[in-house]
């Protein structure tokens, strides 16, 4: 309740001057300048108080995030609740005799369940409070604090004795969070700690297996980051959003997707079968319609041919020829004297 009260007070301080223009006049007093010294000082104090209240609320949510992330442990009982279903990849190798050997390896395709659940819960909480109205200097430090919390917890895990599969999953989680949360400005700040932690986890993995797993691991890290960038948008720095959005995601369904229950799904819209009687009716209607279209054309063509024939017969009649020769022999006909 206290944290929600802090958020309410932050909203109140943030909207104090825009909603109370008469308060601005009271603070300004007799000074007619728009940017008076007293108004500037009071505005700075109110703005700082609003940022402090926002920080109190964010800190409480980061504390809840840390508590939720602590459920990721290296105990044997937490494996079933922490590790997602892994992808199976078929790789081909050439043996000593030159014969090609196919083998199947398992690769983590997504972050561990406690990590992605904690991140999505924190992002959903921030989204519900309209993060676009937060001060500009608030969300970026929040992303840094989230990544610091993850590094701190994973450093404690790396100091323990870990299995190869669990180390591979933690390695995926670190690359995933680095891709999403580490911006260009904070890259140098975490480079030393991150490289040390990655090297500590890689010591638990066989070097040959690590060289085989690494290309498939990094491709799935990009795919997982591209899928989660929208849900974690308020935590992702602005310069990382454009880069992650450019990653191409394969359109094929994952093998562990519950929607992929039929290997050969039927087409969505199938052609309806037509009986023989229906086909004959359709062909008869088509023939009848074409006949109706041709009848007016034939009738018009017949009328034109009849006119041409009548004109030809008139031109060749004996009376017409006699009249032409008679009037042609009289040059005076048709002239005026």
Taking only the tens place, the pLDDT of each residue in 99-126 is: 788 889 999 999 999 999 999 999 999 9
Tokens read off for 103:
């083998």
Tokens read off for 159:
């100091």
Q: What is the pLDDT at residue 17? A: 84
**Span of 54-58, 88-92, 246-250 with lowest mean pLDDT:** 246-250
Q: Provide the greatest CA pair distance for the chain.
A: 138
Rounded Cα distance, 162 and 230, in Å: 32
Residue 262: how many CA atoms within 13 Å on its side-chain side? 4
pLDDT more than 70, % of the chain:
70
Estimate the crossing angle of helix 207-228 against helix 238-245, to 10 degrees: 100
Query: With 60 as the cut, is the pLDDT of residue 275 above it?
Result: no
Q: What is the pLDDT at residue 33? A: 61
pLDDT more than 90, % of the chain:
34
Q: How confident is the model at residue 67 (pLDDT cuts 50, 70, 90)?
A: very high
Rounded Cα distance, 118 and 89, in Å: 29
Taking only the tens place, the pLDDT of each residue in 22-55 is: 887 777 766 666 556 777 888 889 889 999 999 9
**What pTM, to 2 d.p., does this model score?**
0.69
Taking only the tens place, the pLDDT of each residue in 192-245 is: 999 999 999 999 999 988 999 999 999 999 999 999 988 898 899 888 888 888
First and final C-alpha spacing in the chain: 127
- DSSP β-bridge partners for residue 102: 92
Of residues 44 and 264, the one with the higher pLDDT is 44
With a CB cutoff of 8 Å and minimum separation 6, the contacts of 160 are: 74
Taking only the tens place, the pLDDT of each residue in 241-262 is: 888 888 866 555 455 555 544 4
Query: How confident is the prediction for the chain on average, in pLDDT?
Result: 79
Q: What is the pLDDT at residue 24? A: 76
- DSSP β-bridge partners for residue 138: none
Q: How confident is the model at residue 296 (pLDDT cuts 50, 70, 90)?
A: low
Rounded Cα distance, 165 and 74, in Å: 11
User: With contact defined as beta carbons under 8 Å apart, do 213 and 107 qualify?
Assistant: yes
Taking only the tens place, the pLDDT of each residue in 118-157 is: 999 999 999 998 888 888 788 888 999 999 999 999 999 9
Estimate the crossing angle of helix 136-158 against helix 37-69, to 10 degrees: 30
Q: What is the pLDDT at residue 121? A: 94
Q: How confident is the model at residue 272 (pLDDT cuts 50, 70, 90)?
A: low
What are residue 91's phi and psi, to 5 degrees?
Answer: -120, 150
User: With contact defined as beta carbons under 8 Å apart, do 144 and 237 qualify?
Assistant: no
3-state helix, strand, coil in the chain (%, to 5): 65, 5, 30
With a CB cutoff of 8 Å and minimum separation 6, the contacts of 213 are: 105, 107, 168, 205
Query: With 70 as the cut, is the pLDDT of residue 317 above it?
Result: no
Q: What is the pLDDT at residue 137? A: 82
Q: How confident is the model at residue 337 (pLDDT cuts 50, 70, 90)?
A: very low
User: With contact defined as beta carbons under 8 Å apart, do 87 and 106 qualify?
Assistant: yes
Tokens read off for 223:
């795919």
Rounded Cα distance, 16 and 294, in Å: 82
User: With contact defined as beta carbons under 8 Å apart, do 152 and 174 qualify?
Assistant: no
φ/ψ bin of 73: left (φ > 0), alpha (ψ from -120 to 50), beta (otherwise): beta
Q: How confident is the model at residue 65 (pLDDT cuts 50, 70, 90)?
A: very high
């Amino acid at each position: 309740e206290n944290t929600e009260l802090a958020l309410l007070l932050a909203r109140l301080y943030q909207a104090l001057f825009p909603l109370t223009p008469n308060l601005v006049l009271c603070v300004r007093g007799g000074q007619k300048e728009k940017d008076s010294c007293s108004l500037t000082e009071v505005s700075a104090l109110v703005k700082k108080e609003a940022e402090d209240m926002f920080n109190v609320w964010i800190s409480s949510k980061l504390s809840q995030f840390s508590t939720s992330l602590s459920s990721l442990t290296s105990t044997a009982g937490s494996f079933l609740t922490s590790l997602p279903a892994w992808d199976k990849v078929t790789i081909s190798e050439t043996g000593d005799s030159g014969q090609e050997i196919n083998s199947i390896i398992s690769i983590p395709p997504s972050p561990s369940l406690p990590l992605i659940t904690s991140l999505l819960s924190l992002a959903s909480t921030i989204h519900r409070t309209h993060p676009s109205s937060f001060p500009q200097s608030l969300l970026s430090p929040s992303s840094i604090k989230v990544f610091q919390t993850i590094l701190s917890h994973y450093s404690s895990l790396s100091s323990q004795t870990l299995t190869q599969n669990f180390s591979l999953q933690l390695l995926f989680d670190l690359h995933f969070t680095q891709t999403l949360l580490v911006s260009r400005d904070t890259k140098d700040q975490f480079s030393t700690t991150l490289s040390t932690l990655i090297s500590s986890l890689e010591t638990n993995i066989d070097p040959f297996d690590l060289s085989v797993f690494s290309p498939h691991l990094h491709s799935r890290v990009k795919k997982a980051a591209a899928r989660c960038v929208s849900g974690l948008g308020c935590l992702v720095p602005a310069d990382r959003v454009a880069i992650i959005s450019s990653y191409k995601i394969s359109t094929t369904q994952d093998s562990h997707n519950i929607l992929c229950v039929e290997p050969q799904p039927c087409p969505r819209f199938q052609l309806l079968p037509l009986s023989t009687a229906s086909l004959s009716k359709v062909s008869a209607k088509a023939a009848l319609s074409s006949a109706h279209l041709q009848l007016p054309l034939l009738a018009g063509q017949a009328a034109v041919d009849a006119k041409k024939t009548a004109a030809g017969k008139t031109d060749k009649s004996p009376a017409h020829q006699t009249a032409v020769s008679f009037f042609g022999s009289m040059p005076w006909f048709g002239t005026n004297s």
